[in-house]
Chains A and B, each alone.
Chain A
Amino acid sequence: MICQECNQRDATVHFTKIVNNTKQEIHLCETCAREKGDAMMKSFGGPGFGTNPFGEPTYSFHNLLSGLLGYEQSQTPMSKGIQAPQAGPHRCSTCGLSYPQFAQLGRVGCADCYKHFAPHLDPLLRRIHGGATAHTGKVPERSGGLIKMKKQIEELRHELQTKIQEEQFEQAAILRDRIREMEQGIGNGEGV
């Protein structure tokens, strides 16, 4: 078997990666594996490995998570080895946390980080949460008024589909009117 990285030497290092139940087998020669390994270690920690910028020891789990995050960026240029995440536009404008810092800490700095890092977050969340990227649970009563209403409408629409399939058209009509009413409510700014 030939190394899939350099396509020259014999592959002697084999590993299996499982992401979202998809199995991927990777076969590398020793040289390429070492290169990848070094880069992995860099993205795992670099300076301050094992401690956060405040000098506190980080949990092994957060190290693992930052490993995942660092690896996340490096996966795309598969052929060119692994680049450490670069500073730049990837910075939360609210708290100032940069993406590399987030990758190192394994934790975000404020609520707005979720917006700023959204493009990077989805693949990560999928890995952590068994493929899911959207919340389906509790919605806070006060701050989530509008969101709650949208969710209710979503549920009613679902119910409406069922009623139509069951040919219960009278009940479907009632549901349709209720949905319309609620949508108008949102348009008028209710529940915000």
Chain B
Amino acid sequence: MSIQDFVRDASRWMQDDGPHSDIVISTRIRIARNLVDHPFPLLADDAQSEEVLEKVRTAIETDEFQEKGHGHFEFLTLRDVSDVDRQALVEKYLISPSLVEHARRGAVALRDDEEVSIMVNEEDHLRLQVLMPGLQLQESWKLATEVDDLLESKLNYAFHERYGFLTACPTNVGTGIRASVMLHLPALVVTQQINRVLSALNQVGLVVRGVYGEGTEAVGNLFQLSNQITLGQSEEEIISNLDSVARKIIEHEQAARHFLLNENREVIEDKIARSFGILAYARRLDSKETMQRLSDVRLGIDLDVIKGVSKNILKELMVMTQPGFLQKYHGAELAPGERDWRRAELVRERLQMDKGHI
């Protein structure tokens, strides 16, 4: 596959359903690894970075890796990828904004189905990511550890008997794992229970972030829940802890949705219908409003208030209406004002495809 295939279409996690996909948008496992005898990317000069990049490229391009990796991996050096394509890869969650900052020395190996990506020379030498739709923590970990083993059979990892896998930042040391689930929690937000739920999470070693990473606010009622601690717990413990908490939150959200339908039906139907109307007819949409309206529409689909619209519309459009993708879709660079116009156009077209009604 070429870079153009990766930045043109929706990823599998955006199109497929997973378990609990009425509330859990996606599951992501990321593991950080470094090679021995190479300075970490922060201190590495160009030649040293290149050496790491070539070692990883050689490992990934072996027949054995390509055979056992459950699909073809395309190795892309970031300096050969245009700015707008880099941005589109970030918007699809295939690479991190931090890799783009270090584009001069960075690379990414993407599996054709985009479920696995391996970033090279980000904060650590290797950042392996598995992204699946719905709540699939165990499945994602199984795949991640398999690909990790495959890499380890070809590369010498920096590992310390007591500290575990060594990472550039001490917050990742040990397992190097960051497991996260993206949750859509509109009913908990509207019933004002969300803060109570979220504040309890810190006590069990979990953190909540906005969808676009550290320090971002929750847009579109989407919350990213992930483990804080990477040392002193096994990967399985970390994952099952996150899994059980996610399931608890799902129960709370479901209860809140029932409550809304039973006690506040008119109010919530009105909110959903208004947002549906705006998305279907508006001529200008900024990204924040788009996310808020999409969240309402998605809730409407889940509650069967809106009929005939695919529930994947939230996942698809939250990525496709981002600036990088909009410009790919339009085929030209867009000024911020123009983007709002084009975004509204794209949303209208997508809604018309499904012929939804209330």
B160 contacts A56, C-beta separation under 8 Å:
no
B42 contacts A132, C-beta separation under 8 Å:
no
Binds A, one of B83-91, B227-235, B278-286: B227-235
Kindly report which residue of chain A lies nearest to residue B149, judged by CB atoms.
A141
Write out the residue numbers on chain A whose beta carbons fall within 8 Å of the beta carbon of B152: 140-143
Q: How large is the interface on A (under 10, 10 to 19, 20 to 34, 35 or more residues)?
A: 35 or more
A–B pairs, 8, beta carbons within 8 Å:
A97-B43, A108-B166, A109-B42, A133-B231, A135-B231, A137-B233, A138-B235, A144-B159
Write out the residue numbers on chain B whose beta carbons fall within 8 Å of the beta carbon of A131: 232
Decide yes or no whether B138 CB sits under 8 A from chain A.
Answer: no
Write out the residue numbers on chain B whose beta carbons fall within 8 Å of the beta carbon of A150: 161
Kindly report which residue of chain B lies nearest to residue A60, judged by CB atoms.
B215
Write out the residue numbers on chain A whose beta carbons fall within 8 Å of the beta carbon of B174: 129, 132, 135, 137
B39 contacts A135, C-beta separation under 8 Å:
no
- Identify which of A61, A62, A110, A121 contacts B40 (C-beta below 8 A): A110
Decide yes or no whether A65 CB sits under 8 A from chain B.
Answer: yes
Write out the residue numbers on chain A whose beta carbons fall within 8 Å of the beta carbon of B166: 108, 111, 114
A132 contacts B159, C-beta separation under 8 Å:
no
A121 contacts B170, C-beta separation under 8 Å:
yes
Decide yes or no whether B69 CB sits under 8 A from chain A.
Answer: no
B170 contacts A128, C-beta separation under 8 Å:
yes
A111 contacts B34, C-beta separation under 8 Å:
yes
Known contacts A132-B233, A133-B232; A143 and B170 CB within 8 A of each other = no
Decide yes or no whether A172 CB sits under 8 A from chain B.
Answer: no
Write out the residue numbers on chain A whose beta carbons fall within 8 Å of the beta carbon of B231: 125, 128-129, 132-135
User: In chain B, residues 36-55, which have Cβ atoms closer than 8 Å to a Cβ of chain A?
Assistant: 36, 38-40, 42-43
A61 contacts B232, C-beta separation under 8 Å:
no
Write out the residue numbers on chain B whose beta carbons fall within 8 Å of the beta carbon of A136: 232-234
Decide yes or no whether B175 CB sits under 8 A from chain A.
Answer: yes
User: In chain A, residues 66-101, which have Cβ atoms closer than 8 Å to a Cβ of chain B?
Assistant: 94-95, 97
B43 contacts A110, C-beta separation under 8 Å:
yes
Write out the residue numbers on chain A whose beta carbons fall within 8 Å of the beta carbon of B230: 129
Known contacts A60-B215, A138-B234, A143-B159; A95 and B170 CB within 8 A of each other = no
Known contacts A65-B170, A137-B234; A132 and B229 CB within 8 A of each other = yes
Per-position binary interface string of chain A over residues 108-134, scored 1 when its CB falls under 8 Å from any chain B CB and 0 otherwise: 111100110000010011001111111
